[in-house]
Amino acid sequence: MEAIIDSADVLRLKHGDVPLPAFFPDATYGSVRCVDAADLVGCGVPGLVMNCYHLLTRPGLGVLRHFGGARRFSGWGGPLLTDSGGFQVFSMIRENPKFGEIRKSEIIFRRENGEKLNLSPEKCIQAQFACGSDIMMCLDYCSHPEDSYELSAESVDITIHWAERCKREYEKLLAAQNARGVAQNEHRAAHGAYRETQNEHRAEHGAHRATHGAHRAPSQNIQHGAQHGAPNGERPLLFAIIQGGGYRDLRKRCAEALVAIGFDGYGFGGWPLSSDMQLIEDILQYTADLMPDDAIKYAMGVGKPENIIKCEAMGYNLFDCVIPTRDARHHRLFVFTDTYGDGDVDGSKSEDKSRGDGRLLHSTYYILDKAYIRDSRPVSDSCDCHTCQNYSRAYLHHLAKSDDSLLYRLATIHNLRFYAELMERLRMRRRSADGAGHG
C-alpha cells in the first residue's frame, strides 16, 4: 500500500493531521469520560479510539447511520480510530465461556440479557465504515503471552484468515463509497450545467433575468461537488494486528502473512504485559522489527508513560490506553519533574518517584494526600492546561475530599495534556537523535 507518513513524520488523515508519535485517548462508548470535545481540543488531543463492539451494542448502527457517523454523533471533529472489539469480546469469553464461542467464521457473543451478537470480519468492517472511521482495525483472535503454543498458533491462523476477509470487505466498501462520490459529483456537475443552460435561456428574455442567472453561477455548484469527492489521500486506513503470543516463530509467521496481504499499519496483538504486570519488552521489540518501517506501528493498550517511552524507542509511533483518564478519576495526576517546582521527586509528596530520562522524567501526585490542603501551587508549574492555569492543588484536594465531580473533569484535562506534552517531548527526542545521526 502507498506511503501514508510524510517526511515530517506526520500521518495525514481526512479529518486532521497527526504528528507522530501520537497518543489517542479511549472513547470506548463514543465519549472520553468526564470531558467533552472542546476540552479534548484544548488538551491538544490528536485523535480518539472508539470501540466498534460497544458502539454496535449501544447506541447501535442505526443511530450512528442516522447521524452520519460517530464523529457527528459525538461532536468530535478530529481523527477517529475504531477498534474491532475483538479484544473486549475475547476477554469476556476467556473469563466466562458462557458469553460465547469463537468459530473460524465469526465470533458468537451472548450478552447477559440473552441477546446474541454475531461478529464477523465483514460485519466488523461494515460497522467501522458506518462509524466514519479514519483508521479501521481488522478483527483478530486475541491471545495471551502465557497461552499454549497450540492455542497461540490457532489464534495466528484465524487472525490471518480474518484479516484477508477484512481486506476484501474494506476494498469492496471503499470502491462502493468512491463510486457514490463520483456519481454525486457527476450529478452535481450535470445539475450545474443544467442551471447554466437555464440561465443562458433566461438571458435571452431580458436583462433582469440575465442578471438573476448570473447570480447563480454554475461554477460554484461544480466546485462544491468537487469538495465532496474522495481523493486518494482521504480514504480510511486499514490496520492489521500481529498475534503469536510469546512465540517468536508465530509472531514472524503472522507478520509475514499480514504484510503480504498489505495494510497501512500493524498493531501489537495480545497482552503487552506479563502476569506480573511487566512490559514484555523482548516480544514487543521483536514484533516491532517485523513491521514495515513505512507503516504505522501501533502499541495497542500500552499506556503507562514509562512504557510508552520504552516502546517509542523500539519504533512504535501510535498508542492508546485508559490510564490517563482512569488514573484521573482515581486522583492520580502525572507531572514532569525536569522543571523547577514539579514532582517533589524526593517522594514525600508524590505517589511514585521519578521515571524516565532527561526531559521525560515524570512522577505522579495523589491529590488526596493531606500535604496539599494548603498548597497554593498548580499541579505543575510548567503545564499550560486549563486546570493548572486556573486551580491550585489545595482546591483539587478539596474537590476530591468533597467527592465533587468537577475534580474528575479537571484531573482528566490535566492528565490528557500531560500525555500530549509527552508525545511532543518524544518527537523532540527523535528529531534530536535524527539530527545527531546526520551530523
Question: What DSSP state is assigned to residue 19?
Answer: E
- One-character DSSP codes across 167-193: HHHHHHHHHHHHHHHHHHHHHHHHHHH
Assigned C-alpha cell, 24: 489517542
3-state secondary structure 343-387: CCCCCCCEEEEEECCHHHCEEEEECCCHHHCCCCCCCCCCCCCHH
State the Cα–Cα distance between residues 187 and 439, nearest whole angstrom.
56
320 part of the active site: yes
Question: What DSSP state is assigned to residue 204?
Answer: T
* Residues sharing a CB contact under 8 Å with residue 416, sequence separation 6 or more, in sequence order: 25, 32, 35, 39, 40, 43, 45, 324, 325
State the Cα–Cα distance between residues 309 and 357, nearest whole angstrom.
9
Assigned C-alpha cell, 10: 506526520
Question: What DSSP state is assigned to residue 104?
Answer: S
∠ Cα 317 322 323 (to 5°):
90
Amino acid type, 242: I
State the Cα–Cα distance between residues 433 and 437, nearest whole angstrom.
6
Instruction: Provide the CB-side half-sphere exposure for 328 (13 A, CA).
Output: 27
Other C-beta atoms closer than 10 Å to the C-beta of 275 total 9
Q: Which among 26, 39, 320, 327 is annotated as catalytic?
A: 320
Compute the 3-state secondary structure of the chain and give helix, strand, coil in percent, each to the nearest 5: 50, 15, 35
How far does CA 391 lie from the centroid of its chain? 29
Amino acid type, 304: K
Whether 316 contacts 352, CB under 8 Å? no
* Residues sharing a CB contact under 8 Å with residue 91, sequence separation 6 or more, in sequence order: 142
Q: Which among 26, 39, 83, 134 is annotated as catalytic?
A: 83
State the Cα–Cα distance between residues 28 and 21, nearest whole angstrom.
21
Catalytic residues: 83, 320
